[in-house]
């Protein structure tokens, strides 16, 4: 692959040092695949209508690796992509996704990615999705991911959802249905600045006996940015669900957290925790006594909070 400096920078920021060519991969740049490879354990097949990919992870495979990053460098480009993951019974896989947008023009650039996961019995996957934006243009960088997860008996899904810099507007929608013994773990990390807006919506249905979900969102709203978190867990059987919203507000930022717990079974155990506040003054003072400026101390606290 012949990548320019902008493309390399975008990939570096969304894959966090992972080696894309280890395992199966598809790299999408400005609405075209610029590199694709399947393996004996994973098949990546373009959809016949050109709208995305079907990814098949074979039953029983161990430590399969899949990378499907998306990068955009053309101002004004807008696209919607559908990727479906079929994870075979007993399979284990690490899936690295994410999107980076560089917009140096005056028109808005937008990527809307729809990812659906069909996770087989006793299968286990980790999924990492990082969003990043840069470029000196006045056009917006817009990302609207939709993630749907359908989990069979005793399956396990761990998801890391990250947005740290440069995305002007985003609506992140996640829906999950869990059968008996399935477990879902989600860790969301989000920072907004300037006039950015970010909305996260989670709807998790614990349908099977012994199903569990642990959803934790951490956010930092700086400058004049706005964040909203709608987080709902429905317990429809004997199950356990935990949600947590922990946020730092700075400058003129605004954060709205809307938790919802719906118990439709007497055996459902559901818990929500929430905290929104500014950086504690004693934390700043402690770091400043070690020689840091106030700005440096704030950055250290934020970096640790979002780790």
pLDDT of residue 285: 79
Residue 288 lies in a domain: no
Residue 230 lies in a domain: yes
- Does 247 lie in the same domain as 153? no
Mean pLDDT for the stretch of residues 71-89? 97
pLDDT of residue 303: 82
Residue 294 pLDDT > 90: no
Give tens-digit pLDDT for 41-67: 999 999 999 899 999 999 999 999 999
- Does 226 lie in the same domain as 163? no
Residue 269 lies in a domain: yes
Who has greater pLDDT, 224 or 282? 224
Average pLDDT, the chain: 93
Task: Band the pLDDT of 295: cuts 50, 70, 90.
Answer: confident
Give tens-digit pLDDT for 108-119: 999 999 999 999
- Does 16 lie in the same domain as 116? yes
Residue 87 lies in a domain: yes
- Does 217 lie in the same domain as 162? no
Residue 146 pLDDT > 80: yes
Residue 290 pLDDT > 80: no
Mean pLDDT for the stretch of residues 72-91? 97
Nearest to 162 by CA among 297, 15, 17: 15
pLDDT of residue 18: 67
Assign 63 to helix, strand or coil. Answer: coil
Assign 164 to helix, strand or coil. Answer: strand
Residue 184 lies in a domain: no
Mean pLDDT for the stretch of residues 131-160? 96
Written as one string, the DSSP assignment of 241-253 is EEEEEEEEE-TT-
- Does 240 lie in the same domain as 116? no
Distance CA 87, CA 7 (A): 30
Give tens-digit pLDDT for 202-217: 999 999 999 999 999 9
Residue 293 lies in a domain: no
- Does 227 lie in the same domain as 152? no
- Does 100 lie in the same domain as 209? no
pTM for this entry: 0.93
- Does 43 lie in the same domain as 107? yes
202 contacts: CB under 8 Å, gap ≥ 6: 174, 175, 176, 186, 215, 229, 230, 231, 232, 233, 243
- Does 204 lie in the same domain as 145? no
- Does 102 lie in the same domain as 222? no
CB 146 within 8 A of CB 119: no
Phi then psi dihedrals of residue 151, to 5 deg: -110, 125
Assign 289 to helix, strand or coil. Answer: coil
55 contacts: CB under 8 Å, gap ≥ 6: 24, 42, 43, 44, 45, 66, 68, 83, 84, 85, 86
pLDDT of residue 304: 83
Q: What residue has token string 């899936």?
A: 95
Mean pLDDT for the stretch of residues 71-95? 97
- Does 239 lie in the same domain as 160? no
Domain count, the chain: 2
Assign 295 to helix, strand or coil. Answer: helix
- Does 198 lie in the same domain as 161? no
Assign 281 to helix, strand or coil. Answer: helix
Domain that holds residue 117: 1-167
Residue 239 pLDDT > 70: yes
Residue 202 lies in a domain: yes
277 contacts: CB under 8 Å, gap ≥ 6: 247, 248, 249
């Amino acid at each position: 692959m012949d990548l320019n400096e902008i493309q390399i920078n975008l990939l570096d920021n969304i894959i966090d040092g992972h080696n894309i060519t280890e395992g199966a991969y598809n790299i999408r740049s400005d609405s075209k695949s610029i590199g694709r490879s399947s393996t004996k354990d994973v098949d990546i097949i373009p959809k016949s209508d050109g709208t995305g990919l079907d990814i098949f992870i074979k039953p029983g495979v161990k430590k399969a690796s899949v990378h499907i990053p998306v990068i955009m460098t053309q101002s004004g480009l807008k696209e919607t992509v559908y990727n479906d993951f079929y994870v075979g019974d007993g399979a284990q896989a690490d899936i690295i996704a994410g999107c980076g947008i560089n917009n140096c023009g005056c028109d808005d650039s937008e990527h809307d990615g729809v990812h659906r996961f069909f996770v087989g019995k006793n299968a286990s996957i980790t999924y990492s999705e990082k969003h990043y934006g840069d470029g000196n243009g006045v056009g917006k960088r817009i990302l609207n991911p939709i993630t749907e997860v359908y989990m069979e008996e005793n399956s396990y899904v761990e998801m890391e959802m990250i947005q740290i810099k440069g995305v002007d507007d985003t609506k992140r929608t996640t829906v999950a249905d869990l059968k008996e013994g399935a477990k879902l773990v989600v860790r969301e990390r989000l920072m907004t600045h300037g006039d950015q807006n970010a909305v996260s919506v989670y709807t998790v249905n614990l349908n099977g006996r012994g199903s569990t979900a642990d959803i934790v969102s951490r956010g930092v709203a700086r400058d004049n940015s706005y964040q909203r978190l709608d987080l709902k867990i429905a317990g429809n059987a004997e199950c356990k669900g935990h949600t947590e919203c922990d946020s730092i507000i700075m400058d003129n930022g605004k954060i709205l957290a809307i938790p919802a717990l719906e118990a439709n079974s007497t055996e459902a155990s559901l818990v929500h925790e929430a905290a929104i506040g500014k950086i504690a003054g004693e934390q700043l003072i402690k770091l400043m006594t070690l020689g840091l400026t106030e700005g440096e101390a704030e950055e250290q606290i934020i970096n640790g909070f979002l780790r």
